[in-house]
Amino acid sequence: MLNAPGIAWPIARAACWPTLTGRSWDEAEHRWHGFENRWRSPGHPAYAQGMGADNAFRLLCREGKTEAAGLRTTMRTVAAMREVLHLASNNGHETQRIQGSEATLTDDDTLLDAYSRAVITASDKVSPSVVNLEVQQRLRTPRATNPRFPQEARGSGSGFIFTPDGFILTNSHVVHDTTTVEVALLDGRRFQAHLVGDDPETDLAVVRILAPDLVPVSFGDSQAIRVGQVAIAIGNPYGFQCTVTAGVVSALGRSLRSRSGRLIDNIIQTDAALNPGNSGGPLVTSRGDVIGVNTAVILPAQGICFAIGISTAKFVAGRLIKDGRIRRSFIGVGGQNVPLHRRIVRFYNLPVESGVLVVSVEPNSPAQRAGLREGDVIVGYDKHPMAAIDDLHRHLTEQQVGARSSLTIIRRAEKLMLDIVPEESTSSAHE
């Protein structure tokens, strides 16, 4: 039986054949067409006498076809009924769409409730581990040497406890070159912290407080996150303690240049709002696992914020706790990226079309001892192509300290191979 839901159903029911005979609409229509075929056939008296439909019905009724009377009563509105059924059918679709919209709204409400519960759960889990750092930093401006001006400046940032014995991870630019660091917990307790170590090249630092009953965070896997998944940032923007903002992971694998000039790789981009004071706070998943350390925001833009992946943070934090610093190698050159002449690239079959132009060589450095000169272009290091300074930075790691390596250079139009032994970097200014 045709199901005509919605406002058209009373009309369909009132006019429908089942109301009169208890039969289905299809059966009624089939019987009516059978009646038409009978009275229109040449052998039927109604056709021979040229009767119309009404007279034919009377004839059939006189013949005892009483069922036809009921059929006629219903079928007088066949054309109208078809329209009614058409409208009813359309209304059914509209009703289904309305019901679908209502279902969608219900589903959206459910999703929103689930989203809210996820953010609330993550916030409740991580907030006790998030701390507010209030610091005093030495000024590095010309006024700092003038006794009439302040020698220090106050600042604030965020961090999070990642061990039960009080180690806190934050950004290097929050605690670098500080004289005092005070940590405020969510429960109102305040402690003096001491700097364990900081690494400006990755903008990460570790401080420690001695306090009981600390709640550490749980680490996630920054390599397992996907673009589009929920990202929740917790921090203390402008001193407003434990502020929660939520968004999604906008992109992965970004690169961000640190204050020392080195490039930080595998940066997470998110649209979870960050403000001054959020630096050093955690970026967490809906399960409350930390996947990043909030570090930067592009101020003129909206919704473009960055966090250092927790895989990098765990490595750096471990080294800072162990050694207080990150060991890196340097060769003692200053350089800039330059394109190579196409003839040189083709002649030597070079895998790169650019290199690092040596603009300065530090005295008594590995580069000077290796015979590197100003004007040389570095195109390879230890059999790895070097197309830019960032490539050179990535290869000057702790493992290269004291290890003899080969340096491929272009001097004028000649390709040369030099042996070089990098040394441990003692300043972030070295390259």
86 is catalytic: no
Of 190, 208, 226, the last residue of a domain is: 208
Q: Is residue 353 situated within a structural domain? A: yes
User: Of the listed 172, 173, 289, 329, which one is catalytic?
Assistant: 173
342 and 288 housed in the same domain: no
154 lies in which domain range?
128-208
Q: Is residue 105 situated within a structural domain? A: no
Q: Is residue 249 situated within a structural domain? A: yes
What sign results for the dihedral spanned by CA atoms 176, 180, 184, 189?
Answer: positive
Of 173, 189, 208, the last residue of a domain is: 208
312 and 334 housed in the same domain: no
Question: According to the model, what pLDDT value does residue 7 have?
Answer: 37
10 and 42 housed in the same domain: yes
Radius of gyration of the chain (CA): 40
Mean pLDDT, 10 residues at a time, over the chain (431 residues)?
38 40 54 60 56 54 48 48 47 52 62 83 92 85 65 85 94 89 91 92 92 92 89 90 91 86 86 88 93 86 88 90 88 91 94 93 92 94 90 87 92 93 69 40
- The CA angle 366-371-377, to the nearest 5 degrees, is 95
CATH at 181: 2.40.10.120
Question: According to the model, what pLDDT value does residue 9 have?
Answer: 34
Question: According to the model, what pLDDT value does residue 11 have?
Answer: 37
201 and 226 housed in the same domain: no
Q: Is residue 93 situated within a structural domain? A: no
Question: According to the model, what pLDDT value does residue 2 have?
Answer: 40
Q: Is residue 135 situated within a structural domain? A: yes
Provide the phi-psi class of 308: left if phi over 0, else alpha when psi is between -120 and 50, else beta: beta
271 is catalytic: no
232 and 196 housed in the same domain: no
282 and 202 housed in the same domain: no
**Hey, what are 35's tokens?**
């009646």
Cβ neighbour number for residue 114 with a 10 Å cutoff = 11
Q: Is residue 352 situated within a structural domain? A: yes
Cβ neighbour number for residue 404 with a 10 Å cutoff = 10
Q: Is residue 270 situated within a structural domain? A: yes
Question: According to the model, what pLDDT value does residue 227 have?
Answer: 94
- The CA angle 268-126-132, to the nearest 5 degrees, is 85
How many domains is the chain built from?
4
Residue 76 backbone phi and psi in degrees, to 5: -60, -25
In single-letter form, the type of residue at position 208 comes to R
Question: According to the model, what pLDDT value does residue 239 have?
Answer: 81
Closest CA to 279 of 130, 164, 139: 130
242 and 286 housed in the same domain: yes
Closest CA to 278 of 157, 413, 395: 157
Question: According to the model, what pLDDT value does residue 8 have?
Answer: 37
Question: According to the model, what pLDDT value does residue 302 have?
Answer: 80
Q: Which residue has the tokens 């000649």?
A: 414
Residues 6+ apart with CB under 8 A from 155: 134, 135, 136, 137, 174
Overall pTM > 0.75: no
Question: According to the model, what pLDDT value does residue 214 have?
Answer: 93
User: Of the listed 127, 156, 279, 405, which one is catalytic?
Assistant: 279
**What is the C-alpha separation between 57 and 31, in angstroms, rounded?**
13
**Hey, what are 37's tokens?**
């075929």
In single-letter form, the type of residue at position 404 comes to R
Question: According to the model, what pLDDT value does residue 398 have?
Answer: 85
173 is catalytic: yes
Note whether 158 and 277 are within 8 A (CB).
yes
**What is the C-alpha separation between 171 and 158, in angstroms, rounded?**
8
Residue 217 backbone phi and psi in degrees, to 5: -80, 165
CATH at 312: 2.40.10.10
**What is the C-alpha separation between 65 and 102, in angstroms, rounded?**
49
Residues 6+ apart with CB under 8 A from 161: 129, 131, 167, 168, 214, 215, 216, 217
Q: Could you say which DSSP state residue 288 is in?
A: S
